[in-house]
Amino acid sequence: MRSYAARYAVAAHTLLLMCPGHVRTELGGPEAPLTIDQSIPGVADTIDRHSGQPGLKYLNHQGQTVPW
């Protein structure tokens, strides 16, 4: 991902890598702290907020930058 990020960091269009958080799903398991209903609205809001902003970002479901 770092080589991808380096290549597209100055992209003219919006590129978002999203981390939905640790969500209670088959993959996340029953002990995960977030429900789907808690995670998805944040993912959608984050996408909306960054629409039209150029470059590549790695963000979580709260719109915070995730360290590479």
Q: Are 27 and 34 in contact (CB under 8 A)?
A: no
d(CA 51, CA 49): 6
Helices (H), the chain: 2-8, 36-50
What is residue 4's predicted lDDT score, i.e. its pLDDT? 78
d(CA 43, CA 27): 18
- For residue 34, give Cα distances in angstroms to 7, 21, 60: 33, 7, 13
Which structure tokens are listed for 14?
């919006």
Mean pLDDT for back-to-back runs of 10 residues, the chain (68 residues): 78 92 97 97 97 93 92
